[in-house]
Structure 1
């Protein structure tokens, strides 16, 4: 064990291979499950930071993401217990070879796990940052890595008029994230961070942002009406339709995490909502094209953004997998209802989908469409709109492990490669891809130029893997590295990208 004395408290950590870790440190306090967080400023006594803290009440994602998305299980140990009030904790991984005074000038990478606001935790073994921190020392550009937990699902995003009226503002997931970033700002000098939804903050939060296979255009904020409908559905699931407001709130702030998870439908719409505060507006294709004015696009100096070649495979597990029979016909019916028949036909034919297309062929083409509208097109649009320095990448290395999507650059694979925790299960060529990607991310976090800057005229997108270890795409970079199908359709006036994005969400939801 290692003991660290700071101006805000004493911490007992654990020594690993080339690093010291301080785990489960509370960064915020809450009065109850649904209250807004308050940053912890100082600590009494010695904080035992030798094991992971509780995770947020939500479906346990660890085995699912390993078995289904990554297709390789490295650790099947039980996840930490859940808690609605003790889950606001973070882990700090520090290179152990550096003297304490030298650490004060290091950049800090704050890792905010994904999971669509409904699953995930900072204890996921595949995101353990020990090897990434050790690599940063080997490079001569050491970084500290902070991984955070934040409230998810019902406790993270549930809202209603009656909750707001009694002092529960909602959007706890975003408030928790912001609170964690402020904790880091208050205790560590300079850092880079991976999240885009926090760009609405008027106060500068971070210098650099890394967006890996996910943008605010994918997880659209809910309207107040939709959020209210979700609240009523949760109330009904808990048997509280006839309860008073006081009884409902008391139940929500005292319910056992296990019961809450059991009674929350996986398809419940529990994304952040438009509250005219932490999330005042939605980011759309149209706004990005016309010059979106978001505070963070001024104070965040640099953006690294990219996608995986087959990111859309994750939609197979988000509803598409249950729609494979008569897929072409169902997709045509759904898109026609949302976009009109002409736009629906234009989109589907551009992806080779016709009513006569077999289910297997339609499935692959639909995953391609999902990849483009949910991941690739939003990433490019953000890269083009970003006013500061931008570095874009394509992760093309195929999944090396047995499973449904072997050989495809599937969703989450870039993050899995980044942390180096699967290196023993890779051949040398694949490990070289992982190492090249991780080195670029560490360089970016240190304020260095990871590769040639992206610009709309010359492209300059970095390619990782797919037989191209170190190639830059030049002129018309994104179109050469990914399909430009949707952009061509939009330019020809055959489809509106925002309309198609909403239509896709409706289809995936079963409408």
Structure 2
């Protein structure tokens, strides 16, 4: 191992260099969100004297511990809450050689339901991307109540503002690491993918990236400002305080975590359904982005007047809800239990479950419910996001079934990063090397040239199916489930079919 140094606007960094890859870890991209900077927009990083050691990961955002039943997800989540030096608004960079120039840049936003996770997770190790000629960046941002409350008359979408600040840092500093600031691809999975989908039509993010990849995310998982303010009041009530920035600053991070955990676990819970009885978080994602501010001025489910038309690669796994999302608790459900579970946040629960073969003797109620959640929360809204995108959009579906969890949520990530060996509890011991090569190469090619190697998702409706034998074919994901509640593209009952689109576009 040798040492590499790089100059940034805030000061000089020292990283390590091993086997042709240099790493610079725990780099502050904004000032520590402490004191008056807590529950405030990110401020510029403070300068440091001398050379800062960047050979170890930095602090991570306050977050609850991963539930023991989801231990297999640890490689996707990372080390949990690491207090460190207190400044968890940091990022990590992998590069082939900071002395080069003009390399494609990829910026990864982690998932975790906007409540957990970090850019230090083992699955996101950027070594393979750097080995193959990309400057790879992973980012921490504020989570949960620290990042996604709406303080009346004050700040909103703090976590998204952090992400935008990180992209500003990339634009201003990445050339020093060998990257091309004019060829930036932002990508992410789950909450990170949803963040990317929203950044595509966020005015403050304009000009900060060229193309985008959305994995298991979409641009419909947000709440209007009024509902997020109701959530903020509920958190404040749990804390016994008022819903203002000053009041929340007076509460410790552990107290805030206990309050948000209580909201998830115990009654009474805030009713976050809209006037149609629909909750985009489905009772699982408590903290979501907020529409109706300067970051996300447009409502969900309609073509945004602020949307930008760079290339978009978007997709889902075939069985998203197989892991997490309450699936472990569905095993003993009968048909009535399944309907009651879904009806709590989705008004057309029974019809949707019937569509997923609820009363078919060959399908258990748990299987029907997880399939319904997969389409409702991921597959359908991701396809609508592709339809709405004003630029070239390419769609994929990850269909390889792990012997442990099937084609579950998050399973595609280690194949993209070529980190399956560190994620065996998720993918098993026999992850196909050909699938890793295919997905990793696709992401590389898209970042470099904006072309993943198959046709755009328009009239034909084709998608790349990533399985042991990746191949292009007709997309099997429905694009109408939940459409009446996302307001796209017609009122409920009047969704345009793929055939109608084909006729209209000829």
TM-score (norm 2): 0.78
| Higher normalized helix content (fraction of residues) | 1
Q: Show the counterpart of 1:504.
A: none
The equivalences for 1:131-150 within 5 A come to 131-134=128-131, 136=132, 142-150=133-141
Paired position in structure 1 for 2:281: none
Is the CA contact (8 Å cut-off) linking 2:80 and 2:116 kept in structure 1? no
- Name the structure 1 match of 2:145: 154
Describe the SS at the equivalent of 1:393: strand
Deviations 1:40-84 (A, max 9, x none): 38553222212111111112449776x244xxx669995462379
**2-structure distance, mates of 1:420, 1:129:** 9
- Alignment match of 1:211 (pick from 210, 214, 219): 214
Show the counterpart of 1:397. Answer: 400
What does residue 118 of structure 2 align with?
121
1:455 deviation in Å? 3.2
Higher RCO (C-alpha 8 Å, min separation 6) = 1
Number of residue equivalences? 446
1:378 to 381, 390, 410: 381
Deviation at 1:271, TM superposition (A): 1.5
Q: 1:409 to 1:334 in 2, by over 3 A?
A: closer
* Matched-pair contact (CA < 8 Å) for 1:393–1:461: yes
Aligned to 1:256: 252
Does the 8 A contact of 2:63 with 2:80 survive in 1? Answer: no
The one-character-per-residue Cα deviations of 1:150-209 (angstroms, maximum 9, x if unpaired) are: 000011012232xx3xxx412110110111111111123231111111123333221010
- Whether 1:328 aligns to 2:335 is yes
Please give the alpha-carbon distance, in whole angstroms, between the structure 2 residues aligned to 1:56 and 1:471: 39
Matching residue of 1:50: 55
- CA 1:42–1:302: 2 relative to 1, 3 Å: farther
SS in structure 2 at match of 1:412: coil
User: How do 1:76-475 and structure 2 match up within 5 A?
Assistant: 78-79=79-80, 81-82=82-83, 86-96=87-97, 100=99, 102=100, 104-134=101-131, 136=132, 142-161=133-152, 164=153, 168-188=154-174, 189-190=181-182, 191-194=184-187, 195-202=196-203, 203-217=206-220, 219=221, 221-240=222-241, 249-250=245-246, 252-265=248-261, 267=264, 269-284=286-301, 287=302, 292-298=303-309, 301-314=310-323, 317-319=324-326, 321-322=328-329, 325-333=332-340, 344-354=349-359, 361-400=364-403, 402=404, 405=405, 408-423=406-421, 430-447=432-449, 449-465=451-467, 467=468, 469-473=469-473
2:277 aligned residue = none
Structure 1 position 232, deviation (Å): 2.3
Cα 1:187–1:149 change in 2 (3 A) is same
Residue 500 of structure 1 is matched in structure 2 by: none
| Counterpart residue number, 2:192 | none
Whole-Å separation in 1 of the counterparts to 2:452 and 2:492: 37
Change (3 A) 1:494 1:226: closer
Deviates more, 1:441-450 or 1:249-258: 249-258
Corresponding residue for residue 34 of structure 1: 39
Q: Offset of 1:231 from its aligned partner?
A: 1.9
Contact 2:77 2:118 in 1 (8 A): no
5+ unaligned residues in a row in structure 1: which ranges?
A: 137-141, 498-511
- Deviations 1:332-366, CA, capped at 9 Å, x for gaps: 457678877xx555433221114x979x7011111
State the secondary structure of the residue aligned to 2:364.
helix
Query: Cα–Cα, structure 1 residues 484 and 27, in superposed 2: closer, same or farther, change >3 Å?
Result: closer
Pick closer, same or farther for the CA change 1:452–1:78 going to 2, 3 Å.
Answer: closer
Using the TM superposition, give the Cα deviation of residue 280 of structure 1 relative to its aligned residue in structure 2, in angstroms.
Answer: 1.2
> How far 1:472 sits from its partner (Å)?
1.1
Check whether the contact 1:84–1:257 (CA below 8 A) recurs between aligned residues: no
Tell me which moved more, 360-369 or 149-158.
360-369
CA distance in 1, matches of 2:238, 2:304: 40
Query: Which 10-residue stretch deviates more, 200-209 or 83-92?
Result: 83-92
**In structure 2, distance between residues paired with 1:12 and 1:80:** 25
Residue 434 of structure 1 deviates from its aligned partner by 1.2
In 2, the alpha carbon distance for the partners of 1:344 and 1:394 equals 25
The question of whether the paired residues in 2 share the 8 Å contact of 1:37 and 1:179 is answered with: yes
Shift of 1:321: 4.2
Give the CA RMSD over aligned residues: 3.4
SS of corresponding position for 2:12: strand
